[in-house]
Amino acid sequence: MTLSSMTGYGRARSAARGVNVTVEISSVNRRQFDARVELPRSLAVMEPGIMERLRERIARGAVTCFVKVDYCRTAQGRGFRVDRKLAESCLRSLRKAARELGLKDDFTARHLLALPGVAEFESEWDSAQVRPALDLALGRALDALVRMREREGRTLARDLARRLRNLASIRNAIAALAPDAQAAHRNALTARIARAGVDVEAGAERIAREIALFADKSDISEELLRLQSHLKQAGGALASAGPAGKPLEFIVQELFREINTIGSKANHAKITALVIEFKAELERIREQVQNIE
Residues 210-254 pLDDT 10s:
666 666 677 888 999 999 999 999 999 988 877 888 999 999 999
Task: Indicate left, alpha or beta for 239 from its phi (over 0: left) and psi (-120 to 50: alpha).
Answer: alpha
What is the spatial distance between Cα 111 and Cα 97, in angstroms, rounded to a whole number? Answer: 15
pLDDT of residue 105 exceeding 80, the answer is no
DSSP assignment of 78-135, as one string?
A: PPEEE-HHHHHHHHHHHHHHHHHHT------HHHHHTSTTTEEE-----HHHHHHHHH
Instruction: Give residue 115's pLDDT.
Output: 76
189, 184, 180, 188: which is closest to 207 by C-alpha?
Answer: 189
Q: Which residue has the higher pLDDT, 135 or 243?
A: 135
Task: Please provide the CATH number assigned to the domain covering 8-76+127-151.
Answer: 3.30.230
Residues 45-102 pLDDT 10s:
999 999 999 999 999 999 999 999 987 655 455 555 677 888 888 888 888 888 888 8
pLDDT of residue 16 exceeding 50, the answer is yes
Residues 149 and 293: beta-carbon distance below 8 Å: yes
Residues 147-203 pLDDT 10s:
999 999 999 999 999 999 999 999 999 999 988 776 666 666 666 666 666 655 555
Ordered by start, the domain boundaries in the chain are 8-76+127-151, 80-121, 154-289
Query: Residue 104: CB partners within 8 Å, gap ≥ 6?
Result: 98
Instruction: Give residue 266's pLDDT.
Output: 79
Instruction: Give residue 100's pLDDT.
Output: 83
Instruction: Give residue 34's pLDDT.
Output: 95
Q: What is the DSSP letter of 138?
A: H
Number of separate helices (H) and strands (E) present in the chain? 8, 6
